[in-house]
Amino acid sequence: MDQSKTVALTKQLLRDYYEFGNIVDLRRLFTDDVVAFGIKSESYKKGPKAVEHFLRQMHRAMEACRINKMSCVAKVVDDGVTVRANVVYSTNERMRNMQQVLVMFRETPVGWMICGLHFQRDVRHELTYQMVSSQMLNRGEVGDGSMDEVMDMVSSYVNCAYVQYRPDTQLPMDYFSDELWRMLGYGSGGEFSASFQGYLEHIVHEQDLGPSRDEIRRQLFKGDSYQVEYRLRRHDGTYIWCMECGRYVLDKETGAGTFNAVVTNLSPLKQTHASFLYNLRHDRLTNLFNKKTFCRQTAEIIADHPDTEFEIMRFNIARFKVINDLFGEETGDKLLKYVAHFLKSIRLDACVYGRLYADNFILCYPTKGEVRQHLIHSLQMLAESFALDYRIDFYFGVYTIKDTTLSVTTMLDRAAMGLARAAHNGLVVCGEYDDDMRECIVNEQVIVNNMKSSLRRDEFLVYLQPKYELKTERIVGAEALVRWLHPQLGFISPARFIPIFEQNGFIYQLDKYVWEKTCQLLKDDIDHGRPVLPISINVSRIDLYSPNIVRVFESLVDRYEIPPKLLELELTESAYVENPQQIIEIAKELQAKGFPILMDDFGSGYSSLNMLKDMPVDILKIDLKFLSDKQGEDHGRGGNIMTSVVRMAKWLDVPVIAEGVETQAQVDFLRTIGCECVQGFFYSKPVPIEVYEDLVAKDHQLMEPRSGNNRA
């Protein structure tokens, strides 16, 4: 059955039932095994006749009613379709009621039939009490008008009774309204009177009788009204919490006084208040403590055990988003609850656990023994026992509490640093916080705080590292590199700020800044008649994610009127490995527009040959470091690899630039294997623009090849 048709049918059936008591159309759609249960039923009613009787009884209890609003949502389930209806209706007794009804349809040989009806609790009843609970928790913060509005709503739902009794020893009751015996579960006023024999003392809990009377006297000593709480015994022997609000009235003629009071049933309110507080303190999915409650409980435990050392642990599920994507959020939720069940089963003294958010869990426990190792091992075993055809791993971060004056939130942040170390490393299951981490975080924050303002003030400088033709040792171009000169912090190494900028995305803004400065330099060389050599700029993998990256380069060369061949684009091989198809398409488009493509760090990845087959590369750059051991000495095998790479590049008609050249021995070796160009400290380190221009000018004044002794 179409879901929209199912919703329309459900609305019509429920409207006929609620407003007119018509169950004829419902009855026609019952299956032979149809079941129904409702707000006050304790067992299923099974079969068409029993369900029909059940529905008629329930409608008689509602008497006349009118539907104010109805909303329905259909959901396909394994056996059919279930429609959830929220029905808001009015009766003679109440201006507004709300019930939630589930109507379950099943496909049968004769068509779609109703196999189940579930009339759930009065939802609005509970919502009202939650509003009152909220008012109690925030007493004094809400205006009188709001409180009056809430109390008007409560009057429709809370059971209240009027009573009048004398302040004698047994509290003889002169009058009570019918609401009192109904509140206490009696069938009639006579039955109630016979049970408590006319004395209020007989139904007040013995532990509450004395304190409540003392409290009334205390309040009346200061004023003319009072308010107390106590428990009243119901017909079935259970007790309900009640609030008595009253006034002492003295009859001047007789000299006798009476208490005139309203007794209100507080039990539903207290239950909902308790539920409200529980939800306020716990995570709804797992029922573990939420962050706020965890922090409060942890602070209390640390304060209560001053001689005990504790640890804060944070852990999460590796690739949890992948689990949700592959198996659905329902499976992901089951896994979270599976972990939560384990945490709740931990039997450790002074242990607190909670869920921070998503798949992030938190614990606090004593460090004595091997608790940490036991927890990690147990959780790893737990992951293996979860019935899922997928490897589940955990990453852990730990902070051992040395400074108990820190806030628990700060402790959690430090545990998060350890967790980040484990997650980024991949080989370390558990990362432990140390002071170096904090220093790194502080330094990183300093960089982040200053990066935008420094870019606006041109505090990032473009340096150029020359590239030399090995045969003639003449400069044939340069690579643009960035340096940061902060007025207070001084020179900041690229090794410090580049990884941070790549992580937070600022690298794209910085790269565009360097590209523009480079184009300005090339334009200035052209305008002043200086020798114009190509300059290569770095294009990071973050830059390549920009959808208009090709247009950015086009607009640069158009704006500064420079040939695209002068602006060489260096792409790292790692970018190709991460997203090969996108990089290939962008590189082909840029190459078609005249930009030379350089592949930087060739040989550092795992797909070099495959990349070289597909990628439109004009020049290869090879870093000599990957051929050296820890002491910097070249292996014979490394030399053979380098020779083969250069030979292969010549077959493909692709020039090779060797970067990181630092020794005469490396220069001699590169000459013997036919490498065309070199770049490195042996010839020149990265230099300011003015120094580079002087080098180029001197280089072009000399007609003979330069030697290594002329290097900068």
Q: What amino acid is encoded at 286 in this protein?
A: T
Range name among 19-23, 53-57, 433-437, 529-533 with the lowest pLDDT average: 433-437
* Whether pLDDT at 123 is above 60: no
- The residue type of 98 is M
Q: State how far the Cα of 248 lies from the Cα of 126, in Å rounded to an integer.
A: 34
**CB-facing half-sphere around the CA of 679: CA atoms within 13 A:** 23
Instruction: For the chain, give the mean pLDDT.
Output: 84
- Contacts of residue 114, defined as CB under 8 A and 6 or more positions apart, other chains included, come to 26, 29, 30, 31, 34, 103, 104, 105, 106
Residue 439 CA to residue 454 CA, distance in Å, equals 22
User: 150: pLDDT confidence band, cut at 50, 70 and 90?
Assistant: very low
Higher pLDDT, 113 or 580: 113
Sign (positive/negative) of CA torsion 288, 293, 294, 300?
A: negative
What is the pLDDT, as a whole number, of residue 125?
44
Please tell us whether the domain made up of 501-702 is placed in CATH 3.90.1150.10: no
Q: Where residue 539 falls among pLDDT bands split at 50, 70, 90?
A: very high
Instruction: Indicate whether 157 pLDDT > 50.
Output: no
Residue 366 predicted with pLDDT over 90 = yes
What pLDDT digit, counting tens, does each position of 306-352 carry?
A: 999 999 999 999 889 888 888 889 999 999 999 999 999 888 889 99
Residue 182 has pLDDT above 70, yes or no: yes
Higher-confidence position of 228 and 124 = 228
Q: What value does the mean pLDDT take over residues 465-474?
A: 94
Mean pLDDT (whole number) for 560-571: 95
The answer, yes or no, to whether residue 266 has pLDDT greater than 50, is: yes
10 Å Cβ neighbour count for 155? Answer: 10
- Here the tokens at position 142 are 């809400």
Rounded to an integer, the average pLDDT of 231-237 is 93
Q: Higher model confidence: residue 547 or residue 286?
A: 286
Query: Of 268-282, 476-490, 501-515, where does the model show the most confidence?
Result: 476-490
Q: Are the beta carbons of 85 and 70 closer than 8 angstroms?
A: yes
Integer CA distances (angstroms), 640 to 446, 634, 645, 670, 679, in order: 46, 10, 9, 12, 20
The pLDDT score that the predictor gives to residue 456 is 94
pLDDT at 129: 43
pLDDT of residue 137: 39
* pLDDT above 90 coverage of the chain, percent: 42
Average pLDDT over residues 371-400: 89
- What's the rounded mean pLDDT across residues 518-541? 94
Supply the pLDDT for residue 462: 96
Q: What is the pLDDT of residue 151?
A: 42
| pLDDT level of residue 603 (50, 70, 90 thresholds) | low
Residue 464 parent element (H or E):
strand 460-469
CA trace torsion 621, 627, 633, 634 (10° rounding): -90
**Fold agreement between 282-433 and 501-702:** no
Rounded to an integer, the average pLDDT of 535-558 is 90
CATH number for region 158-272 = 3.30.450.20
C-alpha to C-alpha distance for 509 and 486, rounded to whole angstroms: 18
CA 50 to chain centroid: 48
pLDDT greater than 50 at residue 127: no
The pLDDT > 70 percentage for the chain reads: 87
What is the total residue count of the chain? 712
Alpha helices (H) along 316-395: 320-327, 329-344, 371-385
Q: Classify residue 333 as left (phi > 0), alpha (psi -120 to 50) or beta.
A: alpha
Residue pLDDT, tens place only, 41-57 = 555 788 999 999 888 88
Residue 114 pLDDT level (bands cut at 50, 70, 90): very high
pLDDT for 208 equals: 93
Mean pLDDT of the region 121-148: 43
In the chain, what are the domain boundaries? 3-122, 158-272, 282-433, 501-702
The label of the residue with tokens 């420079």 reads 562
Higher pLDDT, 536 or 638: 536
Q: Residue type at 4?
A: S
C-alpha–C-alpha distance, residues 652 and 618, integer Å: 10
- The answer, yes or no, to whether residue 161 has pLDDT greater than 90, is no
CATH architecture of the domain with range 3-122: Roll (3.10)
243: alpha, beta or left? (left if phi > 0; alpha if psi -120 to 50): beta
Give the span between the Cα atoms of 136 and 130, in whole angstroms. 10
**What pLDDT is recorded for position 267?**
82
User: 282-433 adopts what CATH topology?
Assistant: Alpha-Beta Plaits (3.30.70)
Q: Rounded to an integer, what distance in angstroms lies between the CA atom of residue 278 and that of residue 298? A: 17
